[in-house]
Amino acid sequence: MPARRAPIRLVPSAAIQRPAPAGRIAARRVHTLRPEQIHPVVRIAHRQDGGLLIPRRIILDHELVLILQGHGTWTVDGVEHPLAPHDLLLIPPFVPHSFQVATDGPVEHIAVHFDFAPAVPPPARGLEKRRPYRVRLTHGLGFPRRQHLYAGHRLERLLQGVVAAHASGAATGPALASARLAGVLLELLDHPAGQAGAEPSARHRERVGRVTAHMQAHLGGTINHGQLERVSGLSTSRLQAVFREVTGYPPLDYLRRLRVEAARRLLADPRLAVKEIAARTGFRDTSHFSKVFRRIDGLSPAHYREALLAGGRGKQEK
């Protein structure tokens, strides 16, 4: 009989947030941190569907929010910003903000509440006792408040790993969640001028965005270099370089990862045969599907489905 997973320790939402004050927030105490001191403490990590409607509030720790599905707005410091799938937000403590993501279509997001290190800020009697503060990194480093990713981006996969480790109930779960979140934070660091590699140009991002949109719209069909040349307006060799610069992958490798991501969602439906899922996601046969899926995820589609459905049954039993 498989071992029963330990229950997840839930943190009441009131412990990490409260309505934003109407007046000015008191001066923030500054806590300085070196990059090598980033050892995050994960407090909440979940993936949720349904509406994302959060009235004006402040939080008492840091939060990463990744929009997986849905469009809406995020208001911070009184300024409204549009939200779209694959937007990643870093919300600092004691900064008033609100969310309004439309509920007329699918809505799904990942949220992770954390501290950068166990003693930053120093321990208090409880989160609700915290006074306004901010974290400042040395060497001129910092974090963007908003960054647009792509479907299958490595940061998206790392955040999914944070959620899975946090919910596992395993003795190593908190350590794994912390390690994976540390990887996310270190990749998000903004480097001072002259130290970081050149950012992909807006034109490059726009071209890659057109290609990834074409991939998403035709996952079940045939996609080749000729099609991607026409969509991007670039030669195959140039597209390879630009695509790798923006996403970290060559185009067809990225396409395989998109197809595996879509297959994961379909595998959650036990009514669908593996052969049908392979056809829907653009694999030529079940053997090819299994080979690619195993190379990317480390296990076969059948074993992935078995683990996924077993996890679902465990939740129902609770």
Residues 177, 99 share a domain: yes
**What's the pLDDT tens digit per position in 51-99?**
788 888 899 999 999 999 888 899 988 888 898 888 999 999 999 999 9
Distance, CA of 166 to CA of 134 (rounded, Å): 25
Model confidence at 6: pLDDT above 70: no
What CATH number should be reported for the domain holding residue 274?
1.10.10.60
Neighbours of 247 (CB within 10 A): 23
Counting every residue written for the chain, the total comes to: 318
Confidence of residue 318 (pLDDT cuts 50, 70, 90): very low
Confidence of residue 9 (pLDDT cuts 50, 70, 90): very low
DSSP structure class, residue 60? S
Residues 145, 289 share a domain: no
Residues 130, 46 share a domain: yes
pLDDT the model gives residue 5: 35
What is the per-residue burial (b if ≥16 Cβ within 10 Å, else e) of 15-48? bbbeebeeeeeeebeeeeeeeeebebbbbbbebe
Alpha-carbon distances, residue 236 vs 11, 188, 245 (angstroms): 50, 29, 14
Domain of residue 53, residue span: 27-188
pLDDT the model gives residue 10: 45
Nearest to 178 by CA among 190, 193, 168: 168
Q: Under 8 Å CB-to-CB from 64, ≥6 apart: which residues?
A: 88, 89, 90, 91, 110, 111, 112, 114, 159, 181, 184
Residues 181, 230 share a domain: no
- Any domain includes 1: no
Residues 207, 130 share a domain: no
Residues 110, 75 share a domain: yes
pLDDT the model gives residue 282: 94
Residues 141, 89 share a domain: yes
Q: Quick one: how far is CA 183 from the chain centroid?
A: 12
Residues 184, 47 share a domain: yes
Last residue of a domain, one of 188, 211, 246: 188
Q: Under 8 Å CB-to-CB from 171, ≥6 apart: which residues?
A: none
Residues 35, 169 share a domain: yes
Last residue of a domain, one of 188, 219, 247: 188
What CATH number should be reported for the domain holding residue 73?
2.60.120.280
**What's the pLDDT tens digit per position in 211-249?**
988 998 999 999 999 999 999 999 999 999 888 877 767
Residue written as tokens 């300024």?
79
- Any domain includes 5: no
Identify the three-state secondary structure at position 128: helix
Distance, CA of 167 to CA of 177 (rounded, Å): 9
Residues 308, 212 share a domain: yes
Residues 52, 176 share a domain: yes
- Any domain includes 100: yes
Residue 91 β-bridge partners: 63
Q: What is the mean pLDDT of residues 117-140?
A: 84
Question: The whole model's pTM is what?
Answer: 0.63
Residues 229, 160 share a domain: no
Task: Please indicate whether residue 267 or residue 126 has the higher confidence score (pLDDT).
Answer: 267
Question: By percentage, how much of the chain surpasses pLDDT 70?
Answer: 86
Model confidence at 140: pLDDT above 80: no
- Any domain includes 14: no
Strands 133-137 and 29-33: parallel
Number of domains, the chain: 2
Residue written as tokens 């321990």?
123
